[in-house]
Protein backbone atom coordinates (compact mmCIF):
# COMPACT_ATOMS: atom_id res chain seq x y z
CA UNK A 1 0.00 0.00 0.00
CA UNK A 2 1.04 3.56 -0.64
CA UNK A 3 0.34 6.96 0.84
CA UNK A 4 -0.40 9.53 -1.85
CA UNK A 5 0.11 13.30 -1.64
CA UNK A 6 -3.14 15.17 -0.98
CA UNK A 7 -3.62 18.11 -3.32
CA UNK A 8 -4.35 21.44 -1.66
CA UNK A 9 -6.43 24.42 -2.73
CA UNK A 10 -5.89 26.24 -5.13
CA UNK A 11 -4.62 23.28 -7.22
CA UNK A 12 -6.75 23.45 -10.40
CA UNK A 13 -7.07 19.64 -10.55
CA UNK A 14 -9.45 19.84 -7.56
CA UNK A 15 -12.01 21.67 -9.73
CA UNK A 16 -12.12 19.02 -12.46
CA UNK A 17 -15.06 16.65 -12.78
CA UNK A 18 -13.97 13.05 -12.23
CA UNK A 19 -14.75 10.38 -14.81
CA UNK A 20 -16.69 7.16 -14.32
CA UNK A 21 -14.57 4.11 -13.57
CA UNK A 22 -15.17 1.41 -16.21
CA UNK A 23 -17.09 -1.42 -14.58
CA UNK A 24 -14.85 -4.33 -13.66
CA UNK A 25 -11.58 -2.35 -13.60
CA UNK A 26 -9.18 -4.70 -11.84
CA UNK A 27 -6.73 -2.19 -10.33
CA UNK A 28 -9.46 -0.55 -8.27
CA UNK A 29 -8.97 -2.66 -5.10
CA UNK A 30 -5.33 -1.62 -4.68
CA UNK A 31 -6.25 1.99 -5.41
CA UNK A 32 -9.00 1.90 -2.75
CA UNK A 33 -6.51 0.42 -0.23
CA UNK A 34 -4.09 3.27 -1.02
CA UNK A 35 -6.89 5.81 -0.58
CA UNK A 36 -7.79 4.42 2.85
CA UNK A 37 -4.14 4.46 3.91
CA UNK A 38 -3.76 8.05 2.67
CA UNK A 39 -6.96 9.16 4.44
CA UNK A 40 -5.98 7.52 7.74
CA UNK A 41 -2.45 8.97 7.61
CA UNK A 42 -3.97 12.45 7.20
CA UNK A 43 -6.46 11.79 10.03
CA UNK A 44 -9.44 12.35 7.74
CA UNK A 45 -12.87 10.74 7.68
CA UNK A 46 -13.29 10.89 3.91
CA UNK A 47 -11.25 11.15 0.74
CA UNK A 48 -12.12 11.42 -2.95
CA UNK A 49 -9.81 10.31 -5.76
CA UNK A 50 -9.44 13.85 -7.22
CA UNK A 51 -7.89 14.94 -3.92
CA UNK A 52 -4.90 12.73 -4.70
CA UNK A 53 -4.69 13.66 -8.37
CA UNK A 54 -6.77 10.85 -9.88
CA UNK A 55 -9.74 11.86 -12.00
CA UNK A 56 -11.78 8.79 -11.07
CA UNK A 57 -15.17 8.63 -9.35
CA UNK A 58 -13.97 6.82 -6.21
CA UNK A 59 -14.51 7.79 -2.57
CA UNK A 60 -13.56 6.27 0.76
CA UNK A 61 -15.06 7.11 4.16
CA UNK A 62 -14.66 6.10 7.75
CA UNK A 63 -16.74 8.26 10.06
CA UNK A 64 -16.19 5.95 13.06
CA UNK A 65 -14.21 8.64 14.97
CA UNK A 66 -17.52 10.57 15.12
CA UNK A 67 -20.02 7.67 14.91
CA UNK A 68 -18.61 4.54 16.55
CA UNK A 69 -21.29 2.35 14.93
CA UNK A 70 -20.02 3.22 11.42
CA UNK A 71 -17.87 0.95 9.27
CA UNK A 72 -15.35 1.97 6.57
CA UNK A 73 -16.99 2.43 3.19
CA UNK A 74 -15.58 2.61 -0.34
CA UNK A 75 -17.77 3.50 -3.31
CA UNK A 76 -16.98 3.50 -7.00
CA UNK A 77 -19.11 5.71 -9.27
CA UNK A 78 -21.33 6.89 -6.37
CA UNK A 79 -24.50 8.76 -7.17
CA UNK A 80 -26.98 10.44 -4.83
CA UNK A 81 -30.40 9.08 -5.76
CA UNK A 82 -32.52 10.45 -2.88
CA UNK A 83 -32.16 13.61 -0.78
CA UNK A 84 -34.45 14.47 2.15
CA UNK A 85 -34.58 17.32 4.65
CA UNK A 86 -32.11 20.15 5.21
CA UNK A 87 -29.40 20.51 7.81
CA UNK A 88 -26.49 22.87 8.38
CA UNK A 89 -23.15 21.58 9.61
CA UNK A 90 -19.62 22.86 9.84
CA UNK A 91 -17.19 21.09 7.51
CA UNK A 92 -13.47 20.98 7.05
CA UNK A 93 -11.48 19.40 4.25
CA UNK A 94 -8.07 17.77 3.85
CA UNK A 95 -7.58 19.74 0.61
CA UNK A 96 -8.60 23.07 2.12
CA UNK A 97 -6.48 23.46 5.25
CA UNK A 98 -7.28 25.86 8.07
CA UNK A 99 -10.84 26.49 6.97
CA UNK A 100 -14.22 25.33 8.19
CA UNK A 101 -17.45 26.30 6.44
CA UNK A 102 -21.09 26.05 7.50
CA UNK A 103 -22.88 24.25 4.66
CA UNK A 104 -26.56 23.46 4.13
CA UNK A 105 -26.93 19.86 2.94
CA UNK A 106 -29.61 17.21 2.73
CA UNK A 107 -30.25 15.67 6.15
CA UNK A 108 -30.67 12.15 4.72
CA UNK A 109 -29.36 10.71 1.46
CA UNK A 110 -29.48 7.45 -0.40
CA UNK A 111 -26.38 6.81 -2.48
CA UNK A 112 -25.97 4.13 -5.12
CA UNK A 113 -22.53 2.86 -6.14
CA UNK A 114 -20.26 -0.12 -6.53
CA UNK A 115 -18.07 -1.76 -3.91
CA UNK A 116 -14.44 -2.51 -4.85
CA UNK A 117 -15.70 -6.05 -5.70
CA UNK A 118 -18.08 -4.48 -8.24
CA UNK A 119 -21.25 -5.25 -6.31
CA UNK A 120 -23.95 -2.61 -6.75
CA UNK A 121 -25.13 -1.31 -3.36
CA UNK A 122 -27.30 1.43 -1.93
CA UNK A 123 -26.35 3.25 1.24
CA UNK A 124 -28.99 5.08 3.26
CA UNK A 125 -27.29 7.70 5.39
CA UNK A 126 -28.07 10.32 7.99
CA UNK A 127 -25.95 12.42 10.31
CA UNK A 128 -22.21 12.57 9.76
CA UNK A 129 -22.27 9.80 7.13
CA UNK A 130 -24.80 11.77 5.06
CA UNK A 131 -22.64 14.91 5.29
CA UNK A 132 -19.44 13.00 4.44
CA UNK A 133 -21.00 11.28 1.42
CA UNK A 134 -22.27 14.60 0.05
CA UNK A 135 -18.90 16.26 0.72
CA UNK A 136 -16.90 13.56 -1.08
CA UNK A 137 -19.32 13.40 -4.01
CA UNK A 138 -18.90 17.20 -4.28
CA UNK A 139 -15.18 16.54 -4.83
CA UNK A 140 -16.03 14.18 -7.70
CA UNK A 141 -17.98 17.04 -9.27
CA UNK A 142 -15.17 19.58 -8.83
CA UNK A 143 -16.78 21.39 -5.89
CA UNK A 144 -14.83 22.38 -2.77
CA UNK A 145 -15.98 23.83 0.54
CA UNK A 146 -14.59 27.22 -0.52
CA UNK A 147 -17.22 27.23 -3.29
CA UNK A 148 -19.88 27.52 -0.55
CA UNK A 149 -18.35 30.75 0.79
CA UNK A 150 -19.48 34.21 -0.22
CA UNK A 151 -17.31 35.78 -2.90
CA UNK A 152 -15.75 38.12 -0.31
CA UNK A 153 -14.83 35.31 2.11
CA UNK A 154 -13.57 33.11 -0.74
CA UNK A 155 -11.31 35.95 -1.94
CA UNK A 156 -10.02 36.52 1.61
CA UNK A 157 -9.15 32.82 1.93
CA UNK A 158 -7.54 32.76 -1.53
CA UNK A 159 -5.29 35.70 -0.57
CA UNK A 160 -4.37 34.00 2.72
CA UNK A 161 -3.35 30.82 0.86
CA UNK A 162 -1.40 32.85 -1.72
CA UNK A 163 0.59 34.52 1.09
CA UNK A 164 1.29 31.14 2.73
CA UNK A 165 2.51 29.71 -0.60
CA UNK A 166 4.70 32.76 -1.24
CA UNK A 167 6.40 32.32 2.17
CA UNK A 168 7.31 28.74 1.27
CA UNK A 169 9.13 29.79 -1.90
Find the mean pLDDT for residues 48-54: 98
Is 32 a residue whose pLDDT tops 90?
A: yes
Tens digit of each residue's pLDDT (9 = 90 or more) over 55-109:
999 999 999 999 999 999 999 999 999 999 999 999 999 999 999 999 999 999 9
**pLDDT above 70 (res 169):** no
Least confident of 24-28, 36-40, 73-77, 91-95: 24-28
DSSP H stretches of helix in the chain: 28-41, 127-140, 151-168
> Beta partners for 120?
114
C-alpha distances in Å from residue 23, one per residue of 17, 32, 61, 110, 122: 18, 15, 21, 21, 17
**If pLDDT is split at 50, 70 and 90, which confidence band does 48 have?**
very high
Residue ranges of domains in the chain, CATH in brackets: 12-168 (3.90.45.10)
Torsion of CA 41, 42, 47, 51, to 10 degrees: -110
Average pLDDT over residues 36-51: 98
Asked if residue 112 lies in contact with residue 120, where contact means CB atoms within 8 angstroms, the answer is yes
Q: What is the pLDDT of residue 13?
A: 98
Catalytic residues: 136
Q: How confident is the model at residue 162 (pLDDT cuts 50, 70, 90)?
A: confident
- What is the rounded distance in angstroms from the CA atom of residue 49 to the CA atom of residue 54? 5
C-alpha 50/C-alpha 31 separation (Å) is: 12
Q: Please give the model's pTM, rounded to 2 decimal places.
A: 0.94
Strands (E), the chain: 46-48, 58-61, 73-84, 87-93, 96-105, 108-114, 120-126
Amino acid sequence: MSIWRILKYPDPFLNKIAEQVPEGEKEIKKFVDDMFETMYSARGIGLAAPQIGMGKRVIVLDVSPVDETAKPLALINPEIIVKEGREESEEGCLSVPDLTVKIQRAQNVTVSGFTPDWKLIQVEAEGILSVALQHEIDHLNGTLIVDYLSRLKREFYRKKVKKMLARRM
